Structure 1
Amino acid sequence: MTVKANGFLQGCLPEELKKVLRSVASELGDVIDDMDSIQVVPLKGAMTNEVYQINWPLNDKRDLFRKVLVRIYGEGVDLFFNRDDEVQTFECISKHGQGPRLLGRFSDGRVEEFIHARTLSAADLRDPDVSALIASKLREFHNLEMPGPKNVLLWNRIRNWLKEARSLCILKDAKEFRLDALEEEICVLEEELTRDDQAIGFCHNDLQYGNIMMDEETRSITIIDYEYASYNPVAYDIANHFCEMAANYHTETPHILDYGAYPGLEERKRFVRNYLSSGGDQPNDTEINQLVDDVEKYTLVNHLLWTLWGIISSYVNDIDFDYKEYARQRFHQYWLRKPALLGSGRVCSEEIKTDEEARPNKAAI
């Protein structure tokens, strides 16, 4: 049985999910007498899964509602990560007090605790105060002790996704995205970026604004959605966050990226300084510049990885999002930035060009 969005919107909750919701309600001390009393609110911005807020009236207070979150797994997501591993990660992070609780599971999704906080917007990422909170929380997240080996997953993941893309693509797409040449690109990046002294941490790997929530009263940050989480270089995770500043998934064209919004040098330095100082020590300029340099180079790996994600998703996921055009923009940005970032000398200690040629805007894309 597959739960689809149109079934939700028509109020046709499948029996399996109804059973899970009744069980969750019981564990929370509630009783759902009438399934027709349940409210279903689609939440926009998700591109891997479909996400809904589910409300039911409290027992004797018809004007008060219990809220939970229902996540419907997207089509083909098993090509990107192992769902059982992701659920284990979810439960472990929850035990660390870092995210919502897992309340129930069904064949095509799960029920999660509803976090009473505001999901950030694209503009929030540019707010210096909010950005400082994110930097501090990200450092805390990176320091989580998770079960299993602490090996870097990045290079195996990107090669696996390349293999999947090759198996799915028609010849036209394979040529457009140069899939036959990407293994060589991956090898160059791995050789250039791998160092024994780089910091490795438990990384989120998808730190877009929709995966960050903030309690308006306490100003506490919660990072959610751990499908892609794994051990990786922390520079890669920060690079992912910077790349996501070019995106706004709540527009009429959510797939369009605006690299004119990519953070400038001082903004990147400020984030890195806040990240490093959140541990209690004050970093020196050399430490800050080194991490800024590393982060900027890891944007290249981000561009390639999410290019492959977009290609694969265009074949297997029916969420209303132009995955292939998204992939084209990430691919274009990779080739645009590679000469500067892998050229001779230090690249990021000086301001990177921000003119239209170096960092195209929406119209240019």
Structure 2
Amino acid sequence: MPAAFDPVEIPLGASEEETKTLITALCTRVLPGWAEVNLEELTLTPITGGISNLLVKVTPTQHAGLQPVAVKVFGNKTELLIDRQKELQQLHKLNSCGFGAEVVGEFANGRIEAFLTAKTLKPEEMSHPKFVPRIAALLRKLHSVPTDGKPVLWPTIMEWFEMAKALEFEDLSKQAKFAGIDFASQEREILELKAICDRVPTEVVFSHNDLLSGNILIVREPDTPEENSEGTMQFIDYEYSDCGYRGFDLGNHFNEYAGFECDYSRYPDTAAQWTFFRHYLSADKPPEVSAPTEDELSRLEAETNVFALASHVYWGVWSLIQARYSPIDFDYLEYSGTRWAEYFRRKPEFVAKAKHVFGIE
């Protein structure tokens, strides 16, 4: 049964009180069984962890049988970056495969999902031995979800790049910082990297594309401790998911070990990557199948690391568009510069390894 739709639009710039009124009224109109709930009986709690959208947990306090929900209000102009109709179709497909929170309602600039009572991983926890095997196995399962068409990574980067070049900022300090970006140089880097990645043998998969710590949950029962790590692992937030490259999803995930503070000293070394890869490659294999060879692991490392450079480019360009349109208090221009700086820092090593391993001239 498709989720109910309401035409209301919730402005991101509204006051806290107006936002609460709009969200609670929306829930009582759209969600089954909520029509008789008094608005005063609903508790709103902000959900933190992202830098694009407004996320709010709505809890009915007095009505047995009604479960809390998560209301997501899409960020300003994020439709420039995300095909929302395609995203919704993919969410329904993923729900049927056991991924993501169930979509229970939709509105003009957002949707309502079942709230998952869960522990959200922290960036430093993604590399922990108790989580690495589970993340690797679940990512392998996600990569097995059927996908149609061709990978969209490079067309997306180029579309965003053309959009970014044409931006203008009302904020004079932002405009001055933006004016210092050498777009001609960045375009050369993008085309050079694409030419290398195009020669790297990587699997085409259904790719999450944004597997940061805040999108990895350990779902728990409501009455269990918040830090319980024994529940079912779940990935959420498939806004950027699409047909893509295995290497990009792996490299992007490893980049996210750094967190939003961009501590790239956390990027996994060879030993840590190989541990992850062993769990990833063995996840859908019977026990009697031989473990991955060192050659397989070395090739996957080279593939992952060169696509990690593409991840820096992807989010570096994305950040420029967010800098122009997002009302969220985050220095997107600084973040873009940081991603490009890390790209240039790791490029010589990662490109040289890929060329050596795959015989690229």
TM-score past 0.5 threshold: yes
CA distance in 1, matches of 2:19, 2:245: 44
Alignment of 1:44-193 (within 5 A): 44-59=48-63, 61=64, 66-146=67-147, 148-149=148-149, 151-169=150-168, 172-173=176-177, 176-193=180-197
Partner residue in 1 for 2:5: none
Q: How far apart, CA to CA, are the structure 2 residues paired with 1:23 and 1:94?
A: 23
Q: 1:231 aligns with which of 243, 250, 271?
A: 243
1:277-306 Cα offsets, whole Å, 9 max, x none, are 112142111111100111011111111111
Specify which of 208, 226, 232 is matched with residue 220 of structure 1. 232
Structure 1 position 262 matched with structure 2 position 271: no
Deviation at 1:30?
4.7
C-alpha separation in 2, matches of 1:53 and 1:345: 44
Mapped pair 1:325 → 2:334: yes
1:314-353 aligned within 5 A: 314-343=323-352
- For residues 9-68 of structure 1, the C-alpha deviation after alignment (integer angstroms, 9 at most, x for no partner) is 3265455x4454124442xx4554311211110111111111010011243x5xx86310
The 10-residue stretch of structure 1 (211-220 or 307-316) with the greater mean CA deviation from structure 2: 211-220
For residues 218-266 of structure 1, give each alpha carbon's deviation from its aligned partner in whole angstroms, at most 9, with x where no partner exists: 5321110011001111011000000000115xxxxxxx31111222221
**Deviates further, 100-109 or 192-201:** 192-201
2:27 matched to 1:21?
yes
Which residue pairs with 1:245 in the alignment?
A: 257
Q: Which residue of 2 aligns with 1:253?
A: none
Change (3 A) 1:31 1:308: same
Answer whether contact 2:12 2:76 (CA < 8 A) is retained: no
Query: Normalising by structure 1, what TM-score?
Result: 0.84
Stretches of structure 2 that go unaligned for 5 or more consecutive residues are: 1-7, 170-174, 220-227
Please give the secondary structure, in 1, of the residue aligned with 2:51: coil
Partner of 2:223: none
Distance 1:211 1:8 in 2: 27
For residue 129 of structure 1, give the secondary structure of its aligned residue in structure 2: coil
Q: How far apart, CA to CA, are the structure 2 residues paired with 1:124 and 1:299?
A: 20
- SS of the aligned residue for 1:269 comes to helix
- 1:168 partner SS: coil
How far apart in 2 are the matches of 1:138 and 1:328? Answer: 29
Q: Which moved more, 1:179-188 or 1:302-311?
A: 179-188
Is the 1:136–1:275 contact (alpha carbons within 8 Å) kept by the matching residues of 2? yes
On the 8 A contact 2:31/2:104 being kept in 1, the answer is no
* 1:228–1:274 distance in 2 versus 1, CA, 3 Å: same
1:34 is the counterpart of 2:35 = no
Tell me, yes or no, if the aligned pair for 1:5 and 1:50 is still in contact at 8 Å. yes
3-state secondary structure, aligned to 1:75? coil
Could you tell me which runs of 5 or more consecutive residues in structure 1 were left unpaired when the two chains were aligned: 249-255, 350-365
Give, in whole Å, the separation in 2 of the partners of 1:97 and 1:56: 26
TM-score by length of 2: 0.85
Say yes or no: does 1:194 pair with 2:201. no
The runs of 4+ residues in structure 1 deviating greater than 4 Å are: 4-8, 169-175, 344-349
Tell me which residue corresponds to 1:274. 279
Tell me if the contact between 1:32 and 1:56 (Cα under 8 Å) persists in the aligned partners. no
Q: Aligned pair in 2 of structure 1 residues 197, 294: CA closer, same or farther (>3 Å)?
A: closer
- The alpha-carbon deviation at position 213 of structure 1 amounts to 0.6
Q: Structure 1 CA distance, aligned partners of 2:229 and 2:315?
A: 35
- Answer yes or no: is 1:10 the counterpart of 2:26: no
Residue type matched to 2:27 in 1? L
Q: Please tell me whether the aligned partners of residues 303 and 331 of structure 1 are also in contact (alpha carbons under 8 angstroms).
A: yes
Q: Secondary structure at the match of 2:44?
A: strand
What amino acid maps onto 1:50 in structure 2? L
When structure 1 is superposed on structure 2, of 237-246 and 50-59 the one drifting more is 50-59
In 2, Cα distance between the equivalents of 1:2 and 1:23?
Answer: 14
- Asked if the contact 1:205–1:237 (Cα under 8 Å) also holds between the matched residues in 2, the reply is yes
Mean Cα deviation higher: 225-234 or 90-99: 90-99
Distance 1:123 1:65 in 2: 35
**The 10-residue stretch of structure 1 (1-10 or 281-290) with the greater mean CA deviation from structure 2:** 1-10
- CA distance in structure 1 between the aligned counterparts of 2:176 and 2:229, rounded to whole angstroms: 52
Letter in 2 for 1:270: T
Aligned partner of 2:292 in structure 1 is 283
Task: Give the secondary-structure state (helix, strand or coil) at the position aligned to 2:59.
Answer: strand
Distance in 2 between residues matched to 1:114 and 1:126, nearest whole Å:
26
